[in-house]
Amino acid sequence: MRIRAQLGDITTFSGDALVNAANSTLLGGGGVDGAIHAAAGPELLAQCRALREREYPDGLGVGQAVATQAGNLRARWVIHTVGPNRHAGETDPALLASCFTSSLRVADDLGARTVAFPAVGAGVYGWDAHEAGRIAVAAVRAARTQVAEVTFVLFSPRVLAAFEEALAGR
């Protein structure tokens, strides 16, 4: 599997699936989640509401992942995952790693070959970018997946540098 990192806007990713750093409600929020919902259009919110009604009445759990179609985005699917919130005491690195491995399992179920990830947890959920990068890269490298290419699409030069260090093994 090819793994790379780039600076950019994940909502412009053109590939099979992009991962949304969602909150447990699946109904949109701030940061990456808000940007993805805004770019995808109302169809994404409608699909997320249907998921809540049918399968996740109490919300999606931390570290879990679920897919929807992508609405107006260039990707085919959006894989929603809920990162652990350090500010709420969710500090177990395994929970953060699960966001990546669960998302890749969902990608496999979809038949996705290209997947874009944001820096799950490294925004408002308070994970240090370097720690998030190390956990993310290790989880993706260790995953048994059919995905051929993972791109970390990162929102700032500082976060990009942290993920590039993790990719280089530093």
Please return the burial class of 97, using the count of CB atoms within 10 Å of its CB with bins 0-12, 13-18 and 19+.
Answer: buried
User: DSSP readout, 123-146?
Assistant: STT---HHHHHHHHHHHHHH----
Please return the burial class of 36, using the count of CB atoms within 10 Å of its CB with bins 0-12, 13-18 and 19+.
Answer: buried
Contact between 80 and 120 under an 8 Å Cβ cutoff? The reply is: no
Catalytic residues: 33
